[in-house]
Amino acid sequence: MKRMLSGIKPTGQLHLGNYIGALRHFVASQDEYEMFAFIANLHCITVPQDPQELQKNLKDCVALYLACGLNPNKATIFLQTDVKEHAQLGFIMCCHTYMGELNRMTQFKDKQAKGEKNLSGGLYTYPSLMAADILLYSPDYVPVGEDQKQHVELTRDVAERMNNRYGQLFTVPEPLVAKVGARIMSLSDPTKKMSKSDETNKGCIYLLDDLKVARKKVMSAVTDSIGKVQYDPENQPGIANLMQILSSLSNNRSFADIEEEFKDQGYGVFKKAVADAVCNQLEQIQTRYKEIVESNLIEEVLTQGAQKACLIASAKLDQVQKAIGMEIIK
């Protein structure tokens, strides 16, 4: 069985972009692949966090993994800091990543370009930690949204560099980025990615949003004055985004099919169909979420997941440190 690994950094509440771009692929892959899905809590603290809020977001993230359909009997679900090897291999990876490479990472560059003050060193070096997260488990594939592809490519480069220098240490993983839904845009500004750091809060649908609120966000999504439901991301980014959302939530329905259904309809009818699909999905997720947070499942799943992950991660870290010549006793 081929192996897959991915993680989410719950710096805030999970949103529809996380679900469509990442989480639903984890769920769809768990039968066919050996799936590792973790919660990247070290990555969370690369930006300032309120401790209580972070606690809640982490627990919600596990609950949402489960509520979205990840099955802990199939997938290994764990918290990054429960496997200490991530931080240790992270430093080793950092020492094998060039500053020139980190300087090219668009996520960091974007934050810097916005003029944000006091960006942390951790934020700058986080792609090296992400490389460690991945390479510890030798996955064949890493399913991610578009914005993370560059980080997986950096992981491949550093893995190859170390394989050349120390012998075959790492499996070089491939990023899996879906054709549709890998970059869901903000509903209030379809030129920007849907993200947790949405200031207005109107452009981002959170998986735990009240259904009425979610519906309103879809119904007030920014569109255009062309008035035709057709897939033209350049001239109609808002409509293209809603089409991606609808397609992703309805068994990857083709754009041609969606265009055909709504060809004589106004945007109001189309938006209502998108809102229905979104609310149906959220309702399913939220019903299961409520059951999960009232049970002990979160603690059980994380304990069991960490045990399994630790075995794999510690063997890999050991192999790497030996190859580099760092160990004495073992």
Q: Which is nearest to 185 in space by CA: 197, 194, 196, 198?
A: 194
Active site residue 193: yes
* Distance set, CA 324 to CA 129, 158, 184, 327 (Å): 18, 14, 41, 8
Out of 60, 85, 133, 209, name the contact with ligand TRP by CB under 6 A: 133
The footprint of ligand TRP on residues 35-54 (CB under 6 A) is: 40, 43
Q: Are strands 34-39 and 174-176 parallel, antiparallel or unpaired?
A: unpaired
**Residue type at position 114:** K
Out of 70, 89, 187, 194, name the contact with ligand AMP by CB under 6 A: 194
Q: Tokens at residue 302, please?
A: 């994380």
Neighbours of 209 (CB within 10 A): 21
DSSP lists the bridge partners of residue 77 as: 37
The stretch among 3-11, 228-236, 240-248, 260-268 that binds ligand TRP (CB under 6 A) is 3-11
Q: Cβ 38 to ligand AMP, closest distance in Å?
A: 11
* Distance set, CA 59 to CA 28, 47, 79 (Å): 22, 19, 10
Choosing from 193, 217, 271, 316, the catalytic residue is 193
* Distance set, CA 153 to CA 95, 108, 147, 231 (Å): 17, 15, 11, 29
Residue 6 touches ligand TRP, criterion: CB under 6 A: yes
Q: Which is nearest to 121 in space by CA: 110, 138, 140, 108?
A: 108
Residue 25 touches ligand AMP, criterion: CB under 6 A: no
How far apart (Å, rounded) are the C-alpha atoms in residues 144 and 241? 18
Residue 25 touches ligand TRP, criterion: CB under 6 A: no
Give the residue carrying structure tokens 């993994």. Answer: 65
Residue 313 touches ligand TRP, criterion: CB under 6 A: no
Residue 159 touches ligand TRP, criterion: CB under 6 A: no
Which does residue 13 touch among ligand AMP, ligand TRP, none (CB within 5 to 8 A, set by kind)? none
Give the nearer residue to ligand TRP in terms of CB position, either 126 or 262. Answer: 126
Out of 4, 17, 75, 248, name the contact with ligand AMP by CB under 6 A: 17
Residue 218 touches ligand AMP, criterion: CB under 6 A: no
Residue 22 touches ligand AMP, criterion: CB under 6 A: yes
Active site residue 114: no
How far apart (Å, rounded) are the C-alpha atoms in residues 79 and 266? 46
Task: Tell me the Cα Rg of the chain.
Answer: 21
Q: Tokens at residue 11, please?
A: 């710096």
Which does residue 194 touch among ligand TRP, ligand AMP, none (CB within 5 to 8 A, set by kind)? ligand AMP
Active site residue 111: yes
The stretch among 158-166, 179-187, 269-277, 281-289 that binds ligand AMP (CB under 6 A) is 179-187
For the annotated catalytic residues, the residue numbers are 111, 193, 196
Interacting residue ranges for ligand AMP, rule: CB under 6 A: 8-9, 17-18, 20-22, 144-145, 147-148, 182-184, 193-195
